[in-house]
Amino acid sequence: MQGVFITIEGVEGSGKSTQMLRLSERLRRLHLPLVVSKEPGGTALGRELRRLLLERHASGETWCAESELLLFYADRAQHLETLIRPALAQEKIVLIDRFEDSTRAYQGASGVAEASLDRLSELVLRGLRPHLTVLLDMDPELSLQRVEVRNLALGHEFSETRFDEAELDFHRRVRNRFLAIAQGQPNRVALIPARDPVEQVEAAIWLRVAPLLRNAGFRID
Ligand code: TYD
């Protein structure tokens, strides 16, 4: 038996939260030792950083890409040290909503050089990689429409919920970076089309997760 590290990635509106919930509920029903968390915001420090990061446009000051990058890695360092590494050492299944690939995709798309990402990644991850990354892939044109509809349902102003062309373009670049990561590391990254019905996506994810857990010695039948 060994710990299993699984991450879920994708652009906003790709159905990540729904699938995180379904997978974690399935693992709980099987009474497996499970830790579920997310980035940014998986620790007390992380929740402070998350608040800062999600409100970063509010002050009117434009953050330079490196400031933002370091905050995401501060969140990850704390998360790894206090939650992820200890849980893996205790042979648990660790399921995280967003991780390193989000930084590669989002901060990469914001203009941070690959070499800078490599250096910080080495410092913070020290070689740790997820055993499996589920990448929910969807055209941002569609996924952002879903987000707009959700925000409207939450009562936001119509004008606040619209993504403009520049944002759409940014998310297209994010998606392409995710796809390039999947292409470069096909053994680690399971590329799952996220437009399919929820149950179908859930089944496709389980097809990748189940053998991994079996191989690690977990009883799932
Ligand atoms: P969140 O509300 O968690 O969005 P979602 O439900 O789509 O996961 O916000 C996380 C945001 O932070 C999301 O826009 C992606 C971004 N992000 C980065 O830019 N870099 C990172 O390293 C991480 C982990 C997230």
Residue-wise pLDDT for 18-56, tens only, equals 999 999 999 999 999 999 999 999 999 999 999 999 888
Instruction: Give distance in angstroms: CA of 1 to centre of ligand 1.
Output: 32
Q: If you take atom 25 of ligand 1, which residue's CA is the nearest one?
A: 102
130: pLDDT confidence band, cut at 50, 70 and 90? Answer: very high
Residue showing tokens 């890695």:
73
Instruction: Give distance in angstroms: CA of 86 to centre of ligand 1.
Output: 24
Contacts of 99 (CB under 8 A, 6+ apart): 7, 9, 39, 76, 130, 133
Strands of the 34-38 sheet, one edge to the other: 34-38, 93-97, 4-10, 132-137, 189-193
What is the topology classification, in CATH, of domain 4-215?
Rossmann fold (3.40.50)
Q: If you take atom 13 of ligand 1, which residue's CA is the nearest one?
A: 12
Query: Residue 67 phi/psi, 5° resolution?
Result: -60, -50
Is residue 170 scored above 80 in pLDDT?
Answer: yes
Query: Residue 4 phi/psi, 5° resolution?
Result: -125, 130
Task: Report pLDDT digits (tens) over 133-154.
Answer: 999 999 999 998 888 888 888 8
Is residue 172 scored above 60 in pLDDT?
Answer: yes
The DSSP bridge pattern shows strands 4-10 and 34-38 to be: unpaired
Q: If you take atom 4 of ligand 1, which residue's CA is the nearest one?
A: 12
Residues with CB under 6 A from ligand 1: 12, 16-17, 39-40, 72, 98, 102-103, 106-107
Distance CA 162, CA 148 (A): 6
Instruction: Give distance in angstroms: CA of 9 to centre of ligand 1.
Output: 9
Would you say 95 and 8 are in contact if contact means Cβ atoms under 8 Å apart?
yes
Instruction: Give distance in angstroms: CA of 11 to centre of ligand 1.
Output: 9
Q: In whole numbers, what is the pLDDT of the chain averaged over residues? A: 94
Q: If you take atom 2 of ligand 1, which residue's CA is the nearest one?
A: 54
DSSP assigned state of 84: I
pLDDT value at position 161? 64
β-partners of residue 36 are 95
The DSSP bridge pattern shows strands 34-38 and 189-193 to be: unpaired
Task: Report pLDDT digits (tens) over 53-104.
Answer: 988 878 888 888 999 999 999 999 999 999 999 999 999 999 999 999 999 9
Closest atom, ligand 1, to C-alpha of 98: 24
Residue 53 buriedness (CB in 10 A; 0-12 / 13-18 / 19+): middle
DSSP assigned state of 106: I
Distance CA 133, CA 100 (A): 10
Contacts of 181 (CB under 8 A, 6+ apart): 101, 104, 105, 135, 189
Would you say 163 and 144 are in contact if contact means Cβ atoms under 8 Å apart?
yes
Q: Residue 196 is inside which H or E element, if any?
A: none
Is residue 194 scored above 90 in pLDDT?
Answer: yes
Residue 22, classed as helix, strand or coil, is helix
193: pLDDT confidence band, cut at 50, 70 and 90? Answer: very high
Is residue 1 scored above 80 in pLDDT?
Answer: no
Query: Residue 134 phi/psi, 5° resolution?
Result: -90, 115
Domain map of the chain by residue range?
A: 4-215
